[in-house]
Amino acid sequence: MEILRGVKAMKGRAIFWTAAMAYNGFILTGQGLRTFNSLSITEAFLGALTGFLLAIMFTLRQRRRQRPAFITYSMEQLFPDWVTPNEGRGSDPKPKR
């Protein structure tokens, strides 16, 4: 279910950012909605490309934030053959007679 939700979020971001930036690029040409020439088409295409790349960037950022920052292991997992004797901890060795 987690993967399916991530795919839906990526599609939603891709659609939103691509359309929003394409519109933004079209509006920034300074020409009206009735003027539709190669400049407005180029700016809309560049805006759509920028929006698509932003959607990818935000999706990767979200996935990176969901991962734990540090991978932690216990000492038993790192050194399974390392035996620690429990006897004599914190006490002096007994003298031989």
Task: State how far the Cα of 91 lies from the Cα of 97, in Å rounded to an integer.
Answer: 18
- Percentage above 90 pLDDT, the chain: 0
Q: What is the pLDDT of residue 2?
A: 61
In which band, very low, low, confident or very high, does the pLDDT at 94 lie, cut at 50, 70 and 90? low
DSSP per-residue string spanning 15-58 = HHHHHHHHHHHHHHT---TT---HHHHHHHHHHHHHHHHHHHHH
pLDDT reading at 18 higher than 80: yes
pLDDT reading at 17 higher than 70: yes
Sequence-distant (6+) residues with CB within 8 A of 94 are none
Q: Whole-structure pTM over 0.85, yes or no?
A: no
Q: What is the pLDDT of residue 71?
A: 67
